[in-house]
Structure 1
Amino acid sequence: MGARAPSPLGPIAGPLPRRWLPAALVIVLALLLAACDNSPYPAGTARSNTLLNAFQERSPRSLDPTASYNNNETPYTYQVYEPLYGYHYLKRPYALVPKAAEAIAEPRYLDAQRRPLPPDADPGQIAYSVYDIRIRPGILFAPHPAFARDEQGRHRYHALKAGELGERRTPLDFEHQGTRELTAEDFIYALKRHASPRVEAPVFGVFAEHVLGLKALGDTLRTEDAKLRQGLPASALDKPFLDLRRWPLEGAQAPEKHLLRITLKGKYPQWKYWLAMTFMAPVPWEADAFYAQPGMAGAGMSLAAWPVGTGPYMLTERITDRRHVLERNPNFRGEPYPCEGMPGDKEAGLLDDCGKTMPFIDRIVSTNEREKLPHKAKFIQGYLDVPEIERPEWGIEFLSDMQDSAATRRLYEERGFQFPKTVDISIAYLGFNWLDPVVGRGDTPQQQARNRRLRQAISIAIDYEEGYGRIFINKAGEAAHGPLPAGLFGSRHGTVEGHNPVTHRVVGGKVVRRSIAEARRLLAEAGYPDGRDAKSGRPLVLYYDFQRVPTPEIRAELDWLTRQFGKLGIQLEIRATDYNQFQEKMRHGRAQIFSWGWLADYPDPENFLFLLYGPNAKVGHDGENSSNYRNPEYDRLYKQMQSLDDGPRRQAVIDEMVDIVRQDAPWAWGYFPYAASAFQPWVHNGKPSLLVRDMAKYYRLDTELRAQRWAEWNRPQWWPLLLLPVALLALLWRLRAHWRAREAAAGRSEAGAKRPGEAAA
Structure 2
Amino acid sequence: MLIEPLNRSPLLGDGGRVPVHPLAVEAGSTISRFPSYLPLVLAVLMCACSGPWNNPYRESEAGKNILYGAFAERPKHLDPVQSYSSNEILITAQIYEPPLQYHYLKRPYELIPSSAEKMPLVQHFDQKGARLGDDADASRVAFTIYEISIKPGIRFQPHPAFARDQQGGFLYHDMGKTDLADIYKLGDFSHMGSRELTAEDYVFQIKRLAHPRLHSPIFGLMSDYISGLKEYAATLRAVDEAQFREQGSGAYLDLNNYPLEGAEAVDRYTYRIKIKGKYPQFKYWLAMPFFAPIPWEAERFYNQKGLAEKNINLDWYPVGTGPYMLAENDPNRVMILEQNPNFHGESYPSEGMPEDAQADLLKDAGKPLPFVDKIVYSRERESIPRWNKFLQGYYDASNIGSDSFDQAVQLTGQGEATITEAMREQGIRLETAVAASTNYMGFNMLDPVVGGAGKRGRESARKLRQAISIAVDYEEYVSIFANGRGIPAQGPIAPGIAGHRDGKEGINPVVYDWVNGRARRKPIEAARKLLAEAGYPDGMDARTGAPLVLYFDVTTRGTEDKSSLDWMRKQFRKLNIQLVVRNTDYNRFQDKIRKGNAQIFEWGWNADYPDPENFLFLLHGPQQKVGQEGENAANYSNPEYNRLFEQMKNMENSPERQKIIDRMVTILRHDAPWLWGYHPKDYGLYHAWYGNVKPNRMSNNNAKYFRIDAGLREQKRAEWNKPVLWPVIAGLIVLIVGLLPAAVIYRRRERGTGIANTEPKHETGGSPA
Structure 1, residues 355-381: CA drift from partner, whole Å, max 9, x if none?
111100000001111211011100011
Structure 2 counterparts to residues 346-357 of structure 1, below 5 A:
346-357=357-368
Q: Distance between the aligned counterparts of 1:130 and 1:643, measured in 2? A: 15
Q: Distance between the aligned counterparts of 1:738 and 1:124, measured in 2? A: 104
Secondary structure, counterpart of 2:579 in structure 1: strand
Secondary structure, counterpart of 1:229 in structure 2: helix
Q: Distance between the aligned counterparts of 1:644 and 1:575, measured in 2? A: 41
Identity %: 48
1:572 aligns with 2:582: no
Q: Distance between the aligned counterparts of 1:458 and 1:655, measured in 2? A: 23
Gap change, CA 1:302 and 1:744, over 3 Å in 2: farther
Secondary structure, counterpart of 2:580 in structure 1: strand
Alignment root-mean-square deviation, CA: 2.8
1:54 aligns with 2:65: no
Residue of structure 2 in register with 1:227 after alignment: 242
TM-score, normalised relative to structure 2: 0.88
Gap change, CA 1:85 and 1:738, over 3 Å in 2: farther
Aligned counterpart for 2:53 among listed residues 27, 32, 37: 37
Q: Distance between the aligned counterparts of 1:52 and 1:628, measured in 2? A: 39
1:657 aligns with 2:664: yes
Residue of structure 2 in register with 1:501 after alignment: 509
Residue of structure 2 in register with 1:96 after alignment: 111
Q: Distance between the aligned counterparts of 1:189 and 1:290, measured in 2? A: 15
Secondary structure, counterpart of 1:455 in structure 2: helix
Unaligned runs of 5+ in 1: 1-11, 16-26, 388-392, 749-761
1:595 aligns with 2:602: yes
Secondary structure, counterpart of 2:397 in structure 1: coil
Gap change, CA 1:520 and 1:139, over 3 Å in 2: same
Q: Distance between the aligned counterparts of 2:475 and 2:238, measured in 1? A: 52
Q: Distance between the aligned counterparts of 2:722 and 2:7, measured in 1? A: 45
Unaligned runs of 5+ in 2: 1-5, 10-40, 413-417, 757-769
Residue of structure 2 in register with 1:143 after alignment: 158
Q: Distance between the aligned counterparts of 2:162 and 2:486, measured in 1? A: 48
Instruction: Give the drift of 1:31.
Output: 7.0
Instruction: Give the drift of 1:41.
Output: 1.4
Secondary structure, counterpart of 1:129 in structure 2: strand
1:485 aligns with 2:491: no
Residue of structure 1 in register with 2:184 after alignment: 169
Instruction: Give the drift of 1:615.
Output: 1.4
TM-score, normalised relative to structure 1: 0.89
Q: Which amino acid aligns with 2:68?
A: L
Contact kept? 1:82, 1:282, Cα under 8 Å: yes
Gap change, CA 1:497 and 1:43, over 3 Å in 2: same
Q: Distance between the aligned counterparts of 2:43 and 2:698, measured in 1? A: 49
Instruction: Give the drift of 1:712.
Output: 1.1
Structure 1, residues 449-489: CA drift from partner, whole Å, max 9, x if none?
00000000000111111110x21234720000000111111
Q: Which amino acid aligns with 1:472?
A: F
Gap change, CA 1:175 and 1:190, over 3 Å in 2: same
Instruction: Give the drift of 1:170.
Output: 2.1
Structure 1, residues 35-57: CA drift from partner, whole Å, max 9, x if none?
56221112243410000111114
Aligned counterpart for 1:467 among listed residues 463, 474, 477: 477
Residue of structure 2 in register with 1:525 after alignment: 533
Aligned counterpart for 2:133 among listed residues 118, 127, 137: 118
Contact kept? 1:676, 1:688, Cα under 8 Å: no
Bigger shift: 161-170 or 558-567? 161-170
Q: Distance between the aligned counterparts of 2:231 and 2:44, measured in 1? A: 69
Gap change, CA 1:14 and 1:124, over 3 Å in 2: same
Contact kept? 1:254, 1:260, Cα under 8 Å: yes
Secondary structure, counterpart of 2:314 in structure 1: coil
Structure showing greater Rg: 2
Contact kept? 2:244, 2:251, Cα under 8 Å: yes
Aligned counterpart for 1:384 among listed residues 384, 395, 399: 395
Q: Distance between the aligned counterparts of 2:435 and 2:406, measured in 1? A: 18
1:541 aligns with 2:549: yes
Q: Which amino acid aligns with 1:679?
A: Y
Residue of structure 1 in register with 2:96 after alignment: 81
Q: Distance between the aligned counterparts of 1:110 and 1:623, measured in 2? A: 29
Q: Distance between the aligned counterparts of 2:385 and 2:346, measured in 1? A: 36
Q: Which amino acid aligns with 1:633?
A: E
Gap change, CA 1:729 and 1:203, over 3 Å in 2: same
Q: Distance between the aligned counterparts of 2:586 and 2:645, measured in 1? A: 30
1:329 aligns with 2:329: no
Q: Distance between the aligned counterparts of 2:754 and 2:189, measured in 1? A: 69
1:268 aligns with 2:286: no
Contact kept? 1:163, 1:295, Cα under 8 Å: no
Give aligned pairs, total.
Answer: 714
Q: Which amino acid aligns with 2:105?
A: L
Secondary structure, counterpart of 1:467 in structure 2: helix
Secondary structure, counterpart of 2:336 in structure 1: strand
1:344 aligns with 2:355: yes
Residue of structure 2 in register with 1:402 after alignment: 408
Structure 1, residues 483-516: CA drift from partner, whole Å, max 9, x if none?
0111111110x32111101010111232111110
Residue of structure 2 in register with 1:606 after alignment: 613
Structure 2 counterparts to residues 269-308 of structure 1, below 5 A:
269-308=280-319
Q: Which amino acid aligns with 2:473?
A: D
Secondary structure, counterpart of 2:674 in structure 1: coil
Q: Distance between the aligned counterparts of 1:64 and 1:538, measured in 2? A: 47
Q: Which amino acid aligns with 1:312?
A: P
Aligned counterpart for 1:247 among listed residues 258, 261, 267: 258
Q: Distance between the aligned counterparts of 1:253 and 1:453, measured in 2? A: 50
Q: Distance between the aligned counterparts of 1:683 and 1:267, measured in 2? A: 43
Contact kept? 1:131, 1:263, Cα under 8 Å: yes
Structure 1, residues 3-23: CA drift from partner, whole Å, max 9, x if none?
xxxxxxxxx9999xxxxxxxx
Secondary structure, counterpart of 1:431 in structure 2: strand
Residue of structure 2 in register with 1:20 after alignment: none
1:181 aligns with 2:196: yes
Instruction: Give the drift of 1:556.
Output: 0.9
Aligned counterpart for 2:699 among listed residues 674, 683, 692: 692
Aligned counterpart for 1:458 among listed residues 462, 468, 472: 468
Secondary structure, counterpart of 1:670 in structure 2: strand
Gap change, CA 1:443 and 1:729, over 3 Å in 2: closer
Contact kept? 1:32, 1:720, Cα under 8 Å: no
Contact kept? 1:395, 1:675, Cα under 8 Å: no
Q: Which amino acid aligns with 1:613?
A: H
Q: Which has the higher contact order (CA 8 A, sep 6+)?
A: 1
Contact kept? 2:99, 2:287, Cα under 8 Å: yes
Aligned counterpart for 2:435 among listed residues 424, 444, 461: 424
Q: Which amino acid aligns with 1:283?
A: I
Structure 1, residues 414-454: CA drift from partner, whole Å, max 9, x if none?
0111221111210000110111111014356x611000000
Bigger shift: 531-540 or 245-254? 531-540
Q: Which amino acid aligns with 1:200?
A: H
Contact kept? 1:318, 1:324, Cα under 8 Å: yes
Gap change, CA 1:548 and 1:110, over 3 Å in 2: same
Aligned counterpart for 1:152 among listed residues 167, 172, 177: 167
Residue of structure 2 in register with 1:615 after alignment: 622
Residue of structure 2 in register with 1:70 after alignment: 85
Q: Distance between the aligned counterparts of 1:310 and 1:609, measured in 2? A: 33
Q: Distance between the aligned counterparts of 1:163 and 1:540, measured in 2? A: 59
Aligned counterpart for 1:257 among listed residues 263, 268, 277: 268
Q: Distance between the aligned counterparts of 2:755 and 2:596, measured in 1? A: 82
Contact kept? 1:545, 1:574, Cα under 8 Å: yes
Residue of structure 1 in register with 2:22 after alignment: none
Gap change, CA 1:145 and 1:529, over 3 Å in 2: same
Secondary structure, counterpart of 1:198 in structure 2: coil
Instruction: Give the drift of 1:162.
Output: 2.8
Instruction: Give the drift of 1:75.
Output: 1.5
Residue of structure 1 in register with 2:372 after alignment: 361
Q: Which amino acid aligns with 1:485?
A: A
1:678 aligns with 2:693: no
Contact kept? 1:311, 1:329, Cα under 8 Å: yes
